[in-house]
A and B are shown apart, each in its own frame.
Chain A
């Protein structure tokens, strides 16, 4: 068959050193024949496999990728495979939304004693991939752009912010006067302001243009150098503090939080907002009668998007990512992107191509999304900051939905819950690992 069409699939297998690699070894010493299409890359543990490696393999010529490790309970490092399982569950969801052909991705548990299983798996994957034909990265049919409806009017809300604004200035002034904080991070006329003197609190604003998530500044060294801080948050921004605290990035007792009740500022996120009133703030200003949205409303736009065929989804994201300039505004405005050196900035060797060609943009966008899986609180700052108008919100929603459906977890909603990534459960369920 292969001789007829001339296509021999290339399969890249990332395997665990302790189980699957030895399983492959056993297949060899037992003289079990399997197709020579597989290229094995041995890694210490499936828990160490970056999702970027999976994408990269496909980009540089693989037609299918296998990731294989130890059976649950057998990990040499006790829990690496459990961590990996969680990550793959989320990663597969992301690839589904982006429109990758997940039939080219395979996950298996193969122990050192399962030479025969290794033989079977490789044979089956090779046959399946041969039937699928060669992988063509990001080839997209020309399609009309997605209908977005009318643009949302920005800052046209006729709401009365005045009373809350006055209270906000008063609260900030007190905090500074009493010496409880050295700086109040709040909204000014054009953007964030850093108020250090009680007499300057009149510069604090609260209006429909107060869109930024100011918690991003809590990790910036220049701002930390100013001393103990108070930060102004809306309910949506406040969720970031929960995650940051869980990830040991801030100490809540060193921070004053001024919460603003918010009826919505006309953004996409506001339509499905459940946190109109901050719940953990030290000082909460204002009140609102606005109610939380239902779970159905939360992912409504994503559900609509998922009704489209896979090829159309991939074409949509190809067009979106093609516009990416790699200005990294999405990363810089994100409170969760606090790494001192981002994976995208690792250049010895270059982890992710800095080029804005299609391959480089997919690698960056998928990495950004998966690194925020189960951590993104949906403040949508990345989407607002993107000069190219890329619909990052939809990507973030896909992972938020996956975390909720698969692990009943919502980032930043419950301080008592363990983070979804970085933790694991023996009971994690999936149906795609053989």
Chain B
């Protein structure tokens, strides 16, 4: 038997979490035409409907775009390293999309496969995700093509389903979620009629992988990358793209070592100090993005590095993105 919560009650809960000192983030209309996941100053800012999905993703709450790893200072006694980051605050992400929540278990694998990344893990452990199942989608959405859907539960701690009467059906999926909500973990399977129809299946990921495997040198990559201008908007708004760069900032006496997001579409990403660049043209960089998502990551971790959110295509200033490219691949394959 699932519980119900009205939109007003959800806001009250969010307000209570904020008052309890938690960092509460959710979709916010930062200005006309721009909805982003952002920390909520008050629960009033929480935007529950009237949009498809935010232009960023929730990854920045577990993997910030700029994160100080440690500080250094040089004194008479030599070099001292010091921790700069206190234990992360408890955080609740409310109103996440299933395609955002599903990104977290994917990122978990990446940040723990050969090395346990404490910076990521600490934030991840402090995070509870309250997901809002999708009631609407647009032509860029393709979660169903990558094995997810508008009510996919993966990565969520609590799931809310729009009952279309101003209230949500609540399902607590994990201990963490149950603790946040103050109820028990739901064991019964989801009530199917609550699910909205997701976007229709647009392509078969195995076909993309098969094409990629056989067509490394195919002119296709070069042709479709002609339009690509080489910005990082696709990677930075992607829920699962996770590349980073390590930088030192400071002077001879003190400073910090930090990690910042980086993106494979930048020419500088693979540029060697010698001047050689193993991915010399945009075609090679676009190919890399599709390879990583549909071939390399699945080979290593057994799943696709894409949750079908469609942000890349929605945000790309020149109309590229995962879906337009893989549709072309699959179309070409079937012909």
Contact = CB atoms under 8 A, between A and B. Distances in A.
Interface of A: 142, 145-146, 148-152, 188, 190-194, 212, 216-217, 220-223, 323, 325-329, 331-333, 345, 347, 350, 353-357, 360, 381, 384-385, 387-389, 391
B233 A387 contact: yes
B237 interface: yes
Nearest to B316: A191
Nearest to B267: A345
B14 to A, nearest CB: 19
Contact of A192 (B31, B222, B227, B231): B227
A328 B266 contact: yes
* Of listed A145, A216, A381, residue having the most chain B CB within 10 A: A145
Contacts of A331: 231
Contacts of B36: 323, 388-389
Interface string B51-93: 0000110000000011000000000000000000000000000
A376 to B, nearest CB: 17
Interface of B: 30-34, 36, 41, 55-56, 65-66, 222, 225-227, 229-233, 235-237, 245, 247, 249, 258, 260-261, 263, 266, 268, 281-283, 315-320, 324
Contact of A146 (B31, B281, B283, B318): B31
A194 B236 contact: no
B32 A149 contact: yes
Contacts of B236: 325-327, 387
Contact of B34 (A142, A345, A388): A388
B231 A223 contact: no
Give the one of B222, B261, B320 with max A CB within 10 A: B261
Given A150-B32, A190-B324, A355 B317 contact: no
A391 B227 CA distance: 25
A189 to B, nearest CB: 8
A354 B245 contact: yes
Contacts of B233: 325, 327, 329, 385, 387
A216 B237 CA distance: 23
B55 to A, nearest CB: 5
20 contacts: A142-B41, A191-B317, A212-B318, A217-B226, A220-B229, A221-B281, A222-B225, A222-B226, A323-B30, A326-B261, A327-B235, A327-B263, A329-B232, A332-B317, A333-B317, A355-B258, A384-B317, A387-B233, A387-B236, A389-B34
Contact of B249 (A150, A332, A355): A355
A154 to B, nearest CB: 9
Top 4 closest A-B pairs, CB basis? A191-B319, A389-B34, A190-B319, A151-B33
A153 B266 CA distance: 32
A419 to B, nearest CB: 24
A226 B281 CA distance: 14
Contacts, number: 123
A193 B227 contact: yes
Nearest to B234: A327
Contacts of B222: 222
Q: Which of A145, A191, A381 has the most CB of B within 10 A?
A: A191
A399 B78 CA distance: 48
A146 B32 CA distance: 10
Interface centre among A142, A192, A355, A384 (most CB of B within 10 A): A355
A152 B34 CA distance: 12
A124 B96 CA distance: 56
Give the interface SS of chain A, mostly helix, strand, loop or mixed.
loop
Given A325-B236, A355-B249, A387-B233, A194 B226 contact: yes
A222 B232 contact: no
A325 B65 contact: yes
A152 B65 CA distance: 30
Give the one of B32, B261, B324 with max A CB within 10 A.
B32
A329 B232 CA distance: 7
A354 B259 CA distance: 10
Contacts of A384: 317
Given A194-B227, A323-B30, A388 B55 contact: yes
A353 B32 contact: no
A142 B39 CA distance: 14
B65 A333 contact: no
Given A323-B36, A331-B231, A355-B66, A387 B281 contact: no
Contacts of A188: 319
A212 B281 CA distance: 22
B30 A355 contact: no
A326 B235 CA distance: 11
B31 A327 contact: no
A145 B320 CA distance: 32
A379 to B, nearest CB: 12
A148 B232 contact: no
A387 B315 contact: yes
A123 B236 CA distance: 49
Given A223-B226, A329-B232, A389 B318 contact: no
A277 B268 CA distance: 39
A387 B237 contact: yes
Given A328-B231, A389-B31, A389-B34, A355 B237 contact: no
B231 A222 contact: no
Nearest to A149: B32
Contact of B56 (A221, A329, A387): A387
Contact of B30 (A151, A212, A332, A389): A389
Contact of A152 (B33, B245, B268, B282): B33
Nearest to B227: A192
B128 to A, nearest CB: 24
A325 B261 CA distance: 9
A360 B315 CA distance: 23
A217 B268 CA distance: 19
A389 B236 CA distance: 14
